């Protein structure tokens, strides 16, 4: 069994090298200061921040992949992490809001896990949730709403010990642990797998970092200029290599994070946004924080519809129209970010902007076997 696991690791490594070689991106083999794990990152991508108590390792990444796709990690065996984070949808689920194992609806949409290693804030509206290991506990054990619906006394250690694959992988991933079959180790392995999902091979990457002028269309090039135009100011919240302003890295792990009210609602009453989606106000209790949410990465945004925290806008065109109007329903929201000032854009400009956003789709990450369901092969 160990041989099979090692073979799968080796095959994954070979595949990774082949995929990178196929692109025109200059690779930069970077070694983290914290550990010897090698991030094969293209130019422009900083080394991610990794907690000191959970250094990256290939073994943990592989264990995390099995756990990520394991429906036994839900109360009724019906859902795994992958149920709401589907690889082909850039690890979202295509729904406006998530639905848990027992059928309970979440109030917000499942966020993409692509490039989550650089995500300073992990959820739409919790400014204190910065750690993937800690965040994994929410869908596993949370009750409001129930997502995976696990119970602490659910007998995880028993069934994990009885599975031949885990009998191999847990000690391999945690060789120094007396008892490796623990929930903290589950969350550590899941976090390592999630950090390893790097999207850097889009057509835009080949154009912008790889110098391949033919990688994107002329329309996408015009759209890029519009995206970085001061009048539209898209880049002000969706900037940097990961197209978000919540990026952290090994060199800059404690950046001040921004959250934005984009004028989506201006409801009468106590809150201007429909509860329970009141933004970071839920945690800060500051009235000016009602309606402030994270600006997510725009990488692979073309495959992660519907949009906004509650999935209330079905298309990219609708999102552009929302911002062009300076926020439609919430145009006059007192907490609206001044950057949402509105702009005029032609039909061609809109098409160009969408072409640019589509150029951020990384087909490789949507189909890369290293991020796929390992149980399918067994």
Partner 1 sequence: MTRRWLIRIGLTAAVWLGAAFPQTPQQTSAPVIIAVSGDVSTPLTLKAEDLAVMPREKAKIPEQDGTEVEYEGVPLREILKRAGAPIGKLRGKALTTYVVAKAHDGYQVVFTLGEIDPEFGNDQILVADKRDGKALFGYQGPLRLVCPQDKAGARSVRMLEALEVVKLQK
Contact set with partner 1 (CB under 8 A): 24, 28, 41, 43-47, 207-208, 210-214, 221, 224-225, 227-231, 240-241, 247, 249, 251
Query: Can you tell me the distance from the alpha carbon of 292 to that of 231, in angstroms, rounded to the nearest whole number?
Result: 22
Of 186, 170, 202, the closest CA to residue 44 belongs to 202
Taken in order 177, 181, 187, 189, is the CA torsion positive or negative?
positive
Contact 135, 123 (CB under 8 A): yes
If the CB atoms of residues 177 and 225 are measured against partner 1, the closer one turns out to be 225
Nearer to partner 1, 152 or 251 (CB): 251
Tokens read off for 75: 């109360």
In the complex, the smallest distance separating the C-beta of residue 230 from partner 1, rounded to whole angstroms, is 4
Which lies closer to partner 1 via its Cβ, residue 188 or residue 208? Answer: 208
- Toward partner 1, which CB reaches closer, 110 or 216? 216
Question: Which residue, 212 or 321, has its beta carbon nearer to partner 1?
Answer: 212
Q: Could you tell me the smallest distance in angstroms from the CB atom of residue 34 to partner 1?
A: 14
Distance CA 268, CA 254 (A): 36
What sections of the chain are H helices per DSSP?
2-22, 58-68, 81-84, 132-135, 137-141, 156-161, 164-173, 183-195, 203-208, 218-227, 234-237, 281-284, 316-324, 347-358, 363-367
State the minimum distance, in angstroms, from the CB of residue 173 to partner 1. 28
Give 56 or 303: the residue with its C-beta nearer to partner 1.
56
Whole-angstrom Cα distance, residue 220 to residue 107?
34
CA 183 vs CA 25, 154, 155, 158, 283: distances in Å: 38, 11, 11, 12, 26
Residue 300 and residue 199 in contact, taking contact as beta carbons nearer than 8 Å: yes
229 vs 373, which CB is nearer to partner 1? 229
């Amino acid at each position: 069994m160990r041989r099979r696991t090692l073979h799968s690791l080796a095959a994954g490594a070979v595949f990774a090298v082949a995929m990178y070689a196929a692109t025109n991106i200059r690779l930069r083999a970077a070694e983290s200061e914290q550990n010897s794990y090698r991030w094969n990152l293209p130019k422009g991508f900083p080394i991610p921040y990794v907690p000191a108590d959970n250094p990256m390792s290939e073994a943990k990444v592989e264990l995390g992949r099995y756990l990520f796709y394991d429906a036994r990690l839900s109360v009724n065996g019906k859902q795994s992490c992958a149920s709401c984070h589907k690889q082909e949808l850039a690890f979202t689920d295509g729904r406006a809001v998530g639905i848990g194992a027992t059928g309970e609806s979440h109030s917000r949409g499942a966020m993409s896990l692509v490039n989550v290693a650089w995500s300073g804030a992990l959820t739409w509206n919790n400014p204190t949730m910065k750690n993937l290991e800690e965040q994994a506990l929410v869908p596993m054990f949370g009750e409001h709403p129930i997502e995976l619906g696990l119970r602490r006394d659910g007998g995880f250690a028993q069934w994990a010990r009885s599975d031949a694959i885990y009998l191999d992988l847990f000690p391999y991933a945690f060789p120094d642990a007396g008892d490796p079959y623990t929930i903290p180790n589950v969350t550590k392995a899941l976090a390592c797998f999630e950090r390893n999902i790097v999207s850097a091979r889009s057509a835009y990457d080949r154009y912008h970092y790889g110098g391949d002028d033919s990688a994107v269309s002329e329309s996408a090039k015009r759209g890029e200029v519009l995206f970085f135009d001061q009048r539209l100011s898209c880049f002000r919240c969706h900037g940097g290599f990961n197209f978000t302003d919540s990026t952290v890295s090994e060199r800059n792990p404690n950046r001040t994070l921004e959250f934005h009210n984009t004028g989506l609602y201006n409801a009468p009453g106590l809150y201007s946004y429909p509860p329970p989606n009141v933004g970071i106000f839920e945690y800060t209790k500051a009235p000016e924080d009602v309606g402030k949410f994270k600006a997510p990465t725009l990488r692979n945004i073309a495959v992660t519809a519907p949009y906004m925290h509650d999935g209330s806008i079905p298309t990219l065109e609708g999102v552009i129209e929302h911002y062009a109007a300076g926020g439609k329903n919430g145009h006059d929201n007192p907490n609206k970010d001044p950057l949402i000032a509105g702009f005029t854009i032609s039909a061609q400009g809109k098409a160009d902007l969408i072409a640019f956003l589509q150029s951020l789709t990384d087909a490789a990450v949507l189909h890369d076997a290293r991020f796929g369901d390992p149980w399918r092969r067994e």
